[in-house]
Every structure is written in C-alpha cells, then in structure tokens.
Amino acid sequence: MTSLVKVLNENTIYNSEKLSNFIKYLEEKYIIKDEVIFFNQLVNFSQNNSIPLHGWFKYREGYSHTLVREMITRFTIDTKKEFIVDPFCGAGTTLVEAAVNNLDSMGVDVNPMSVAVTNAKTNSYSKADIEEVKLLIEEIPSIDLDQTEIIDYEDIQQYFSEDNFRALLAIKEFVNNISKPSVKELFFSGFLSIIEDSSDRKRDGNGLKKSLSKVTSVIDFYCDKMKLLMADISESSFCNIGKGYFGSATQLDKYVHEFSEEINKKPGLIVFSPPYANSFDYFESYKMELRMGDFIPRLGVKGLSDLRRLAIRSFVSAAKDPIEVDEIIDLMAIEIEEAIPLKETYTGKKDSRTRKVPQMIRGYFHDMGKVLEKCGKVLESGHKCCIVVDQSSYLGKIVPTDLFLAYLGEQVGFNVKEIIICRKAKTSGQQLQKYPYLAESLRESIVVLEKK
Ligand SMILES: C[S@@+](CC[C@H](N)C(=O)[O-])C[C@H]1O[C@@H](n2cnc3c(N)ncnc32)[C@H](O)[C@@H]1O
C-alpha cells in the first residue's frame, strides 16, 4: 500500500496545514508495518461462516476469526491467571476464538441480540444438555402453527409473508417454553439467526431492503439450523468460561471487575474491532431481530433510540450537542465541514446527511477516547490492547482512524507499539472515481497499544 505520507505529499487533501502536518508526524512517529500479503492469505483461507460456531449468525460487522487467532498467538497471555477482553464483542468472534484456544474471555456489547448469540456460542453444554437438544429438535416438526396469535407484533408484520410470520411466532413460543436456560439460549439463538432469511427484507447498507424470502418452510429451515447448531456444540466442548455482557464499553471497568471477581483472574489482553466512523447505524439493520426477540417493545423511534443512546457515536443521527474534543480531532471535523458547501454548489443539492458527519466525527473520537481510558484502567503495565479498525473518508478527506486511536491511546496511558496494516479498506465507487488516491491509501489496520 502507498504510505500515507506519500499520498499527502502528492495530493492536497486537507486545507489545514496543521492537520496535514500532524497526520504526517503521527505516521512517521509510529512503527507502521505493511502485512497486507500475510493477512490476505490468512483471511482468505478460512471465512467465519464455514467454521463451526462462528457461522451461526450472519453478523455483517463481525471480523475474521483468523485475525483474532493471530493476535492471540502474537500476544500470549498467562492462561492460569488471565483472560481476554473484547469491549465490542458483537456476535462473539473473539470469545469463541479464545475458547477454541482454551482461554477464558469476556465481552461487552450494546446490541442485546448479539450478546445473546455470543452467550449461546460460548456456553458449555453437558452431555445431558445435548441429549435434551436432540429431543427438542425432534419436536420442531410438530410445532402447532394454528394456535399462534399475531398479537403485539403488527409493527413488523409488513416485513414477512403471513405464513412465515406465523411460523416464526410459533417457534418463538416453542423456545419460550424451554425451561433449561442454556438450552433455551441455544434455541433462541437459532431462532434469531433464521429471521432475516425468513423475512422479505435483506440487510443492505444502513438498513433493510426488499428481497422476497426464499424460505418455503420456516419450520424445516429452523429444524435444519438447530441440527447444525447441535452438531457444532457436540463437536466443541469448551471447558473455559466465556461471557457476554449487555452494556456500553464506556463502562468496561464495571463489567471486567464483575467477571474478574467471578473467575478470580485478571485481564491479560484486550482485542476488539470497534464500530467504524462510517455512519452505519447498527440497530437499524437488526431491527427485525431486536423486535422479534423482544429486546425492544416497539419499532418506533423510542424502541431503537434507547439502544442508540448507549452506542458509540459512529452514525450520523447520533451527535447533536456541542462536544469537547482534542484540537486535532476538531480540525478533522472542520475539514469535512468546510468541504460540504463546495460539494453542494457543485451538485446544486443540499446534502443533509454529510452535513451531520463532522459532528459524528467529534462524537466518535470523544467516545472512543473514553473507551480507551477504560481499557487503560483495567490493564496492568506491559499488557496489550489490539484494535482492528478501518480508516474512512468523506468528500475525499481521509479520516486516519488508526492513527487517531493510537494518538488518543497515548493520552490515556498507553505506548503505541506498532500499527499493522492488514488490508485495503473499501470506500464508495463514487469517492474512488473522484479521489483516486483513496484506492491505494485507505486501510484496515491493527493498532497495538501497550499499557505503560
Ligand atoms: C465492528 S462490530 C464488532 C464485531 C465483533 N468483533 C464480531 O466479530 O462479531 C462493533 C460492535 O460494537 C457495538 N457497539 C457500538 N457501540 C457500543 C458501545 N458503546 N459499547 C459496546 N458495544 C458497542 C455494536 O453493536 C457492534 O456489535
């Protein structure tokens, strides 16, 4: 990949000389290693979806488990005394990979649906549990569809055909009647994982787009899914502890403390991929699962906005009030702010969405600074915190998220060990056409911090 300094020297990307010079200074100050070839091979060899446990739920934002494995291998922990922490655990890639490698781990996420999936994956299932799962799977074909009443879910009915919707509600009732918590969690996770395919919607960009379901029998589909889940848990019997907590990474210390007390170990390594500063709203695209899983009472603004309030401000509707941020982060936001009128004059259209991006940038780095502070608080000296993150760009302005997170980490008690470039990061075709330098410079990297 082309070095960012070279790209900045050859193109006038930022109007602010101070911002441009500071980014060059960070890029030259840190050890930046290009390992694109190595990581491309690693990731292409095994995708999450074809690997036991990782493939249960299509979590679009999930990162590759091989990347996690690589970090766990490079930055070993003392298994007897320490555990792994993921402040943004999503559907549990880090926790599953930790368990596969016989390590204890804990994670936090503001999406309650992903926490449920994480916990179902990392539970340890006894032989008796597996026997019970087998018997319950045999009962699935006789789930009674006629008894199901469509009450209280009118707000999401439009996303499904009548038959599929009725079948999903009947499955939900079946799951609700399971008494053993870990077995129930497994069937619930299976239920959550079939909702998208059973609906007439597909996750797309920032939300859902129309796409007729190919599932002709939801009951058969669920049955097959549960057989797959059963095969996976029969194969992998974990003896370590993995636990997901519903909550915000800005309160990481609280959850780490709780887990630490429970297993009498300390955090040895933090590994995560945070939301990227790319305007994605995590809750909008999972609203069917959040609603059908009874995580929120209604789909209206209220239902989702309670969750959004907890999230890192990586999406445009998030940050409205004034936010105090580091001077460099503010310069980044101002750069984008100043580029908007030019674009609007050129296109002759008001771009309401991009107008909100500068404030999102301020909110994002403000919140991530808080999370890094908490990471520093829970780690002892010499321990590592690895962040997998994409850079983003708006109106041709590169937001060097990896450099900025490293810089913010330095302010809260970390040394920056290195930044490992793993892949090119994607951007829209429109931006690439207008700003060709993005193709060679936008990157996904692992920022490796070490507690002082
Ligand atoms: C890039 S995804 C992580 C995916 C995860 N590594 C996996 O493989 O499944 C970022 C996650 O951060 C979560 N998130 C957003 N704001 C959060 C916050 N304040 N605290 C904890 N999690 C948050 C989102 O719900 C999302 O699951």
Q: Where among 208, 237, 266 does a domain terminate?
A: 237
Question: Do 171 and 148 share a structural domain?
Answer: yes
Kindly give the distance from the C-alpha atom of residue 51 to the centroid of ligand 1, in angstroms, as a whole number.
Answer: 21
Cβ of 248 below 6 Å from ligand 1? yes
Kindly give the distance from the C-alpha atom of residue 92 to the centroid of ligand 1, in angstroms, as a whole number.
Answer: 10
Can you give the CATH number for the domain in which 324 is found? 3.40.50.150
Cβ of 91 below 6 Å from ligand 1? yes
Question: Do 266 and 349 share a structural domain?
Answer: yes
Kindly give the distance from the C-alpha atom of residue 114 to the centroid of ligand 1, in angstroms, as a whole number.
Answer: 9
Kindly give the distance from the C-alpha atom of residue 423 to the centroid of ligand 1, in angstroms, as a whole number.
Answer: 20
Cβ of 311 below 6 Å from ligand 1? yes
Question: Do 317 and 187 share a structural domain?
Answer: no
Question: Do 129 and 114 share a structural domain?
Answer: no
Question: Do 232 and 248 share a structural domain?
Answer: no
Question: Do 259 and 216 share a structural domain?
Answer: no
pLDDT tens series, the chain, 452 aa: 888 999 999 999 999 999 999 999 999 999 999 999 998 887 655 565 567 787 888 887 888 888 999 999 999 999 999 999 999 999 999 999 999 899 999 999 999 999 999 999 998 899 999 999 999 999 999 998 887 777 778 888 999 999 999 999 999 999 999 999 999 999 999 999 999 999 999 998 778 999 999 999 999 999 999 999 999 888 876 778 899 999 999 999 999 999 999 999 999 999 999 998 777 777 888 999 999 999 988 776 677 888 888 899 887 766 667 788 899 999 999 999 999 998 899 889 998 888 989 999 999 999 999 999 999 999 999 999 999 999 999 999 999 999 999 999 999 999 999 999 999 988 888 889 999 999 989 999 999 999 99
Question: Do 82 and 136 share a structural domain?
Answer: no
Question: Do 423 and 333 share a structural domain?
Answer: yes
Question: Do 242 and 231 share a structural domain?
Answer: no
Question: Do 102 and 14 share a structural domain?
Answer: yes
Cβ of 312 below 6 Å from ligand 1? yes
Q: Where among 196, 214, 237 does a domain terminate?
A: 237
Q: Which atom of ligand 1 is nearest to the CA of 114?
A: 27
Cβ of 292 below 6 Å from ligand 1? no
How many domains, the chain?
2
* 130: containing domain: 125-237
Question: Do 353 and 215 share a structural domain?
Answer: no
Q: Where among 202, 217, 237 does a domain terminate?
A: 237
Kindly give the distance from the C-alpha atom of residue 275 to the centroid of ligand 1, in angstroms, as a whole number.
Answer: 6
Question: Do 140 and 111 share a structural domain?
Answer: no
| 105 Cβ contact partners less than 8 Å away, ≥ 6 residues apart | 83, 84, 85, 86, 94, 95, 98, 99, 122, 240, 241, 242, 243
Cβ of 199 below 6 Å from ligand 1? no
